Structure 1
Amino acid sequence: MTSLRYCLLAAVLIVCSSASNILMVLPLGSASHKNIFTPIAQKMGEKGHDVTIVSMHSSSSSGSTALAYKDIVAKTAWQKVQSATGEFNVFNMLRESKDVNSEVMKKVIKNLPVYCDAFLRDPAVESVWSENPDLVMLPAFMNECGLAFVHKFQVPFVYVTTSGLTPWTADIMGNPEHPAFVPNQYLSYTDEMTLWQRVVNSVVRVASPFARRHFVLNRLEGVVQKFLEDDNVSLEQIERNASIVLVNSHHSLGFPRPLTPNVIEVGGMHCHPANGLKYIDSELDTFLNEAGDENALLFSLGSHIKSSQMPEDVLAMFVNVFNRLPYDIVWKWEGSRPANLSTNVLTRSWVPQQEVLAHPSVGGFFTHGGLLSLQETAYHGVPIVALPLMSDQHLNAKQAEVLGMAKTLNLKSLT
């Protein structure tokens, strides 16, 4: 009898301690988008699961914490993406009165098949095809190329939105989305819209899933079919089997909206306490320590937009203003230091943003309004001056302004 009990206990322990193989696939997207996946991968890895992230950007360990997951980087594919796309200069687009979102989308959509094929055939990704994952996780927009892995392995998968809940993802999950009070992420409306704004919002809400099907899914489907040598692959059918959607939003930072149980908000999970700025950048730490409490500002336009692309007159305007401010400023700036910039400004091509925001000397954040940046700012309790330029930044800035977290500026009206 005792032996039987031990056998049963051993069987239970084996079941309870079994680990899963998790595959996270990011065929496209900026380095910041990967930041949504890395906290999940790290925690799963620390819990004993075997986690692999495949993307075009490498991860960096946080402080003394080693990566608890396998990080595979498709470097060859990233080079092809850069070659095919070229550089985006948002400032020039705005100066020429172009719609930045439309211009960026046109270029990205045009090259989507190139991006997808390069990623699927990247030498670093070859080893992944021989794995046997129990679950696949991938971003829900412009990364549908990753559905090839779902079809290949025939396992459950989870969509993760790098922005808020998109209309097509809501449709996939059967989540209601009323256009009368749920603004589209590419429109700078609030939940209290005028009649005309509701009309525009409704049209965009209805049209966007069809546009995505035509310009994204249909263009990627042929690439995936050719790679898998299976003409019956349907990306639209595959994604309908998504188990759940993890949404990079939080109800405290957005407008009210209904969510079904299979749509789970996880916004802000990448936020963390400071890991010791002096160990990451001692010069930057000293600069902020000497500034005094809440007497320093951080200026960053994110990972997509480069401050160094500013036209000369716009750059001169910022330099002039920063030189006159009675604050010390940390400026995320790529390239050589701008001429005539005062000593109260410290430039860095890369900034450990959360460590800087957590510093007691930092009393404000001049930001482009990226969703991750707003979440980090709320987490660390720093007020915002937002300069939205593209994508969902206008909606993010509007939400922050309504909540009393931010003041929003327009680049065209700055002098």
Structure 2
Amino acid sequence: MFLSLPSIFSFLTVFIPVAHSGKILVFPHDGSHWVNMRVLVEELHLQGHNVTVIRNADSWYISKTSPHYNVITVDVDGGGNEDFFRAFVSEVIKIKRSMGSAWSHFALQMELKDKFYELHKKVCEVIVFIFENEDLMKSLKDAKYDVVLTDPANGGGVLLAHYLGVPLVFNARWTVHGEAHFAIAPSPLSYVPLSPSELTDHMTFFGRVQNMLFYITRMHLYKQIVEPHYSVLSNRYIGPGVHYFSLFQAADLWLMRVDFVFEFPRPTMPNVVYMGGFQCKPAKPLPQHLEEFVQSSGDHGVIIMSLGTLIGELPSDLAEEIAAAFGELPQKVIWRYKGNKPALLGNNTLLVDWMPQNDLLGHPSIKLFVSHGGTNGIYEAIYHGIPIVGIPIIFDQADNLSRMRAKGVAKVLDVSDLDRKIFKNAIQEVLNEPSYTINMQRLSRLHRDQPMKPLDRAIFWIEFVMRHKGAAHLRTESYKLPWYFYYSLDVILFLLTSALLTLLFFVMLLWFCFRLCLKRKAKSD
């Protein structure tokens, strides 16, 4: 029996789902944050969506052209170019190595404050340029985007989404006020450590004191850095009396770059979706020259070292100490390093400008990862089960590595007192103590044991927001409450007052009865 053409078409429309091609506007945070945002952008493109990315003219990471997305280049200095960050990192290393710990910490905080103040100022200049460009704004409105995808480490995408009236999705670990959970989820300071305190979820009394002090000082610092910039724009473009941070808290969905094999257990919210490790994937074969080098290591295996894109080179004396330590090891070493070749570099060490980090970590000969503690690298190490020796430099790196240390999978070193002996001893400890590898392989099994890949989960929820024009049913409105409402201080005050008045009433009643009894007794006498 032959089916007619209309019957075949009807059959196909019933049994084959129709793909919805949406329009997505991406306002990214440049630098290493773009590395993981690009993973989402490329996957959304593969799913048939039309993606447009806004970039600054001086963008460091974000390409002018791409087969995966359209580009809107804003001809304004965004402040986050390569020179800015490299100079900043060099200054941080210099501060850490030249001063005592207390003064070094204070000087580092002041340096961070100044640089982030400048960075957010530049972001706001970009936003003003966009909002005041009538042709650009008309094109953005006419495009009728289904969703704005942004990294809340800056507020540009937040303001743009609210101005356009488009649902807002975050690719988040940080906001302009610090760790993202603290913006929306209950975060009891008794067992939720604030980054970058380097505390765990099991705090002593003095640990809880430290956590509270970190919270108070950090919140004050963040407001000093960002409020002067974003408050003006919020009042000017969104509406008078609209607090800039409430715009962050009103986001429909938070795609959190967190997995609880990394994060400590803590309260969360319905509109938080966890996708930690979404950029991880099985290793691909290595280029021939790297494969030959790795195979030449024999039973000793290979150590790889990368301190991230921002730290391509180190002070020469520190690089010599690291090279000397590597030269005394039986393992082969692949070191991503762009500085001058150290004089003490051993024959067992290969310097490279770039390495396929994920593919190396997935190779069976890799025994150890020397890392700065960037989130992307840590999740790749977890995914492939490779223990870590950490050398944190800036931002969240020390706190990231402290979490790995607490889980027994990393040894953390301080760059201020690093020398060949300390470095070599740390490497040998991690290589020779089986617990580091056993614990990391356990984390790897836990991380991989999920019903759905983190990237697939992230894409599903982005499309969910697009299909339903937002996700207001998942979003709490608690951020709109005054702080004394949120903590029920008015209710507590009412109940205490009621209890006090009731107690006072009974005391007065007893006193009245007592006086009445005395009067009757006096009359009877």
Is TM more than 0.5 here? yes
2:191 counterpart letter in structure 1: F
Change (3 A) 1:222 1:293: farther
Structure 2 distance, partners of 1:73, 1:363, is 43
Instruction: Select the residue among 286, 301, 305 that pairs with 2:292.
Output: 286
Please tell me whether the aligned partners of residues 80 and 118 of structure 1 are also in contact (alpha carbons under 8 angstroms): no
- Counterparts of residues 143-292 of structure 1 (less than 5 Å): 143-162=154-173, 169-173=180-184, 175-222=185-232, 235-278=244-287, 282-292=288-298
Query: SS of the residue aligned with 1:87?
Result: helix
Deviation of the 1:221 alpha carbon? 4.1
Match of 2:24 among 22, 25, 33: 22
Correspondence for 1:113 among 112, 121, 124: 121
Provide the residue aligned with 2:144 in structure 1. 132
Percent identity of equivalent pairs: 25
Residue type matched to 1:284 in 2?
Answer: L
Choose which of 363, 386, 401 in structure 1 pairs with 2:405: 401
Contact 1:156–1:243 (CA<8 Å) still a contact in 2? Answer: yes
Counterpart position of 1:330: 334
Paired residues, what number? 398
Check the 8 A contact 1:53/1:70 in 2, yes or no. yes
Q: Distance in 2 between matches of 1:168 and 1:363?
A: 31
Q: Distance in 1 between matches of 2:250 and 2:238?
A: 22
Distance 1:103 1:79 in 2: 16
Aligned-partner SS, 2:333: strand
Alpha-carbon spacing, 1:9–1:25, altered in 2? closer, same or farther (3 Å): farther
- Aligned in 2, Cα 1:359/1:80: closer, same or farther, shift over 3 Å? closer
Code of the residue aligned with 2:400 in structure 1: it is: N
The answer to whether structure 1 residue 373 and structure 2 residue 385 are counterparts is: no
Alpha-carbon separation, structure 1, partners of 2:307 and 2:291: 21
CA contact (8 A) 1:166 1:185 kept: no
**Where does 1:64-103 land on structure 2 (aligned, <5 Å)?**
68-70=68-70, 77=77, 81=81, 87-88=87-88, 89=90, 90-97=92-99, 98-99=104-105, 100-103=108-111
**Match of 1:364, as an amino acid?**
L
CA RMSD of aligned residues (A): 3.6
Tell me the SS of whatever aligns to 2:87: coil
Letter in 1 for 2:244: L
Task: Give distance in 1, aligned partners of 2:300 and 2:269.
Answer: 41
Aligned 1:39-78 pairs, distance under 5 A? 39-55=39-55, 56-58=59-61, 68-70=68-70, 77=77
AA of the residue aligned to 2:140: W
Q: Distance in 2 between matches of 1:167 and 1:214?
A: 13
Offset at residue 53 of structure 1 (A): 3.1
Considering fraction of residues, name the structure with more helix.
Answer: 2
Amino acid at match of 1:363: K
Query: What is the CA–CA distance in structure 2 between the aligned matches of 1:385 and 1:107, rounded to whole Å?
Result: 28
Instruction: Report Cα offsets for 1:304-345 as digits up to 9, x if no partner.
Output: 223x232x3322211211221112111111233233422321
Structure 1 length as normaliser, TM-score? 0.83
Partners of 2:359 and 2:257 lie apart in 1 by: 21
* 1:412 positional shift: 3.0
Q: Decide whether the 8 Å contact of 2:169 with 2:251 is kept in 1.
A: yes
Whole-Å Cα distance in 2 between the matches of residues 104 and 181 of structure 1?
27
CA distance in 1, matches of 2:6, 2:295: 65
Residues of 1 paired with 2:345 and 2:272: CA distance? Answer: 47
Read off the aligned partner of 1:133 and give its amino acid letter: Y
Q: CA deviation at 1:87?
A: 0.5
> Is the alpha carbon distance of 1:23 and 1:107 closer, same or farther for their aligned partners in structure 2, counting shifts above 3 Å?
same
* Residues 400 and 154 (structure 1), Cα distance of their counterparts in 2 relative to 1, 3 Å cut: same
Greater alpha carbon shift after TM alignment, 389-398 vs 112-121? 112-121
Instruction: Tell whether the 8 Å contact from 2:333 to 2:349 is kept in structure 1 after alignment.
Output: yes
Partner secondary structure for residue 36 of structure 1: helix
Specify which structure has the bigger relative contact order, considering alpha-carbon pairs within 8 angstroms and separated by 6 or more residues: 1
Structure index of larger Rg:
2
1:63 alignment counterpart: none
CA shift digits 1:278-326 (9 cap, x unpaired): 1xxx4333322322356111111112223x232x332221121122111
Report deviation, 1:272: 0.9
For residues 232 and 365 of structure 1, what CA distance do their matches in structure 2 show? Answer: 49
Native 8 Å contact 1:22 1:134 kept in 2: yes
> Structure 1's 346 and 277: CA in aligned 2 closer, same or farther, altered over 3 A?
same
- Please list every run of 5 or more consecutive structure 1 residues that lacks an aligned counterpart in the other structure: 61-65
C-alpha separation in 2, matches of 1:412 and 1:236: 36
How big is the shift at 1:367? 0.8
